[in-house]
Amino acid sequence: MQNFEQKQEKIIAHEPSQLDIPAIRRDLPATSAIAYLNTGTSGPLPAPAVAALAEAAASEGSRGRLDPAAIARFRRETPALRRALAQFLGADEAEIGLTHHTTEGVNVALWGLDWQPGDRIVTTTLEHAGVLVPLFQAQRRYGVDIVFADVGNGERGLAEAALLRAIQPGVRMVVLSHVAWSTGAVLPLAEVIDRAHRVGALVCVDGAQSVGALAVGLDALQADVYAFPGQKWLCGPEGTGGVFVRAATLERIQPVVSGFHSAHYQPNKPASLEFESGAARYEVASIYRPGVYGLQASVAWLQRQGPIFPAISALASWCLSQLSNLPGVEILTPSNAELSGLVSFRLEGVDAEACTAFLAERKVAIRSIPDNQALRISCGFFNTREEIDHTLALIGEFRAG
């Protein structure tokens, strides 16, 4: 019987794509070990990122973290990472701050306003804990009202109508995902942002499942805050991420957690405090240096690969088409014009958590969603149709058993 690696070599030799899939997968060692269909949780680390992490950690171990050359390098590479992320996202470097994860960026937005009892925040019924927990804490602490727009599974017409109804004069902020983590729906951001700005509300976007999966042009989108992680579709290390804060919004989102990296000051003179001019004002203190170098290497690697976003969408479309062959399937991902890399579905009589464990034993990585008891497949640009087909066949096998 062929081993997993031999099967994968055969698979990618026949995969239609504008990308050099064999070369890409050689740069992603984890794709030789498993069918890596869970980028929506953590993407595979490319070899250049692994090398950057290892080199930085080795240098810190052998030369120490106080090495002047290492400190000088970090001072150069931190703004270089902001520039790389800004270029990738279609933003200005000054609008990017470095964070440790998406949730940190969401908290930057939420705690930056002077909330009063009765202030209204609009969100959706499809949000992740990284949005919901900070929202619930804002309600508990400040007495704000949270309005939940029932967007179903994120069907385009339904979602847009529900959100536009909810965004009325008096709403101070709208907080929502670009791509719903539980269904893969691409929510109507442009229409939401336009409506919110018309009533004077700010918009904070959870970009956890969009950055690296969709072409995100933040200059055109005009979101006020856009938070994103490094470890998912950017294929970077854990503990990395960023927050975009639109230049016109900077003075409205006050830094709440602040520190050495946030501002300039004169000792013992409180009135001298002056925050950084851009989104770097939301950076607080030390950040893991190897993580900075690893994320920078991942972003640079992604930009060299070619048209990754059409490949992601095409594979998600293939997955949706093949799912229809499974008896008793309920597809949760809406057939909107725009597809992300996430495909979610339920199967009658199938326990999602047990099914993912069954697949993991067979070297296939997907995930289950506790909120809606769904199975979720992440279609990365490096994946193949054959991996999708193999996964669905195993799911059928699990169901039959």
pLDDT tens readout for residues 250-280: 999 999 999 988 999 999 999 999 999 999 9
Q: Which pLDDT band, with edges at 50, 70 and 90, does 17 fall under? A: low
pLDDT tens sequence across 331-351: 999 988 889 999 999 999 999
Whether the Cβ atoms of residue 247 and residue 277 lie closer than 8 Å to each other: no
Average pLDDT, the chain: 94
pLDDT > 50? residue 172: yes
Residue ranges with strand state E in 207-303: 225-229, 241-245, 263-266, 269-275
| Secondary structure of 34-95 in HEC code, one letter for each residue | CEECCCCCCCCCCHHHHHHHHHHHHHHHHHCCCCHHHHHHHHHHHHHHHHHHHHHHCCCHHH
Q: Which pLDDT band, with edges at 50, 70 and 90, does 5 fall under? A: very low
pLDDT tens sequence across 186-217: 999 999 999 999 999 999 999 999 999 999 99
Distance in angstroms (rounded) separating the CA atoms of residues 240 and 101: 6
Question: Nearest 10 degrees: CA dihedral of 372, 374, 378, 383?
Answer: -170
Q: Tell me the percentage of the chain whose pLDDT exceeds 90.
A: 92
Look up the CATH number of domain 4-47+306-400.
3.90.1150.10
Domain boundaries, the chain: 4-47+306-400, 55-302
Q: Where is pLDDT greater, at 5 or 156?
A: 156
Of the candidate CATH numbers 3.40.640.10, 3.40.1010.10, 2.170.120.12, 1.10.10.60, the domain formed by 55-302 belongs to 3.40.640.10
Q: Which pLDDT band, with edges at 50, 70 and 90, does 10 fall under? A: very low
Question: Nearest-CA neighbor of 161 among 126, 128, 124, 129?
Answer: 124
Q: Tell me the percentage of the chain whose pLDDT exceeds 70.
A: 96
Q: What is the pLDDT of residue 401?
A: 81
